[in-house]
Amino acid sequence: MMQVLPIQSCATTQDSAVSGKLIVLTGPSGVGKGTLMRSLLQRHPELYYSVSATTRRPRPGEIEGKNYYFISRSKFEQLASQGEFLESAEFAGNYYGTPREAVLRQVQSGHLVVLEIELKGARQIRASFPEALSIFILPPSFAELERRIRGRGQDSEEAIARRLQRAHEEIEAANEFDIQIVNDDFETALNAIEAAVFGK
Ligand code: ADP
Ligand code: 5GP
């Protein structure tokens, strides 16, 4: 059983209530970030979710422009070399990146902008936007994380192994971020994110 951290808050929690802010949600693959994000957006349609670009193939049901912009590796490399990404990283054999212009435009016009990204990208955002609110989502245990990745049923054995290997490294970095939230009971975790984002 991995060590489970309690929910913590920090000085930036109140600042996050100020409009025009970048919020970073990170944590290992399969921990529930996407599911939490979808529920958060349903409750708060005023949040702007940044749709990332990726070279990963779409999973069944994923929609171009809604879940991701699905692009080729050569296109990704071209955009990256033109500085079009606010952050980018390779994860489990694919590239992922946050479109720079759309995010900056939304923040500058006063919106709360949410990024759901992996560790390396989250570190890049922390370095370039120290005022961003960063939230790390933890699983209740490593065994449960594996169950969730397998339960999702959308990754090959090889991809699952890569994601689990990476998860160990990611979880060790949890304390680098402003707030840690354990996604055990879904509603509790969602409420904790909401409180952090809106300072409730
Ligand atoms: P991520 O975006 O972090 O890779 P997902 O949102 O795809 O993770 O979630 C992985 C799986 O875990 C999904 O099948 C999801 O329904 C499930 N899940 C998410 N949160 C919980 C929770 N609190 N308890 C049990 N299962 C969960
Ligand atoms: P998935 O392939 O499961 O959709 O995503 C794999 C990982 O990539 C997840 O941890 C997800 O949060 C992360 N991710 C998605 N978009 C981006 C992005 O734009 N940048 C970075 N750095 N990671 C991303």
Ligand 2 pocket, residue 117 CB under 6 Å:
yes
Q: Is the CB of 139 under 6 A from ligand 1?
A: no
Query: Whole-angstrom Cα distance, residue 57 to residue 154?
Result: 11
Q: Is 35 in the pocket of ligand 1 (CB under 6 A)?
A: yes
- Closest atom, ligand 2, to C-alpha of 53: 19
* Contact between residue 11 and residue 179 where contact means Cβ atoms under 8 Å apart: no
Instruction: Kindly state if the Cβ of 186 falls inside 6 Å of ligand 1.
Output: yes
Best probe residue, ligand 1, of 148, 182, 188 (max atoms within 8 Å of C-beta): 148
pLDDT score, position 97:
98
* Residue 161 CB neighbours (<10 A): 13
| Ligand positioned closest to the Cα atom of 122 | 2
13 contacts 199 by C-beta, under 8 angstroms: yes
Q: How much is the pTM?
A: 0.88
Domains defined along the chain, listed by start = 18-198 (3.40.50.300)
Across the 200 residues of the chain, what is the mean pLDDT of every consecutive 10-residue run? 33 41 95 96 96 95 96 98 98 95 95 96 96 97 94 85 91 97 98 92
Ligand 1 centroid – CA 74 distance (Å):
31
Smallest CA separation from ligand 2 atom 8, residue: 118
What is the residue-wise DSSP string for 69-91? EE--HHHHHHHHHTT-EEEEEEE
Give the residue from 41, 177, 23 showing the smallest Cα distance to 115: 23
- If phi > 0 it is left, if psi is from -120 to 50 it is alpha, else beta; for residue 168 that is alpha
Q: What are the φ and ψ backbone dihedral angles of 187, each rounded to 5 degrees?
A: -60, -40
Distance, CA of 78 to CA of 80 (rounded, Å)? 5
Return the ∠ at Cα 11 (arms to 7 and 16), rounded to 5°.
Answer: 90
pLDDT of the residue at 199: 86
**Residue 19's closest CA among 147, 124, 107?**
107
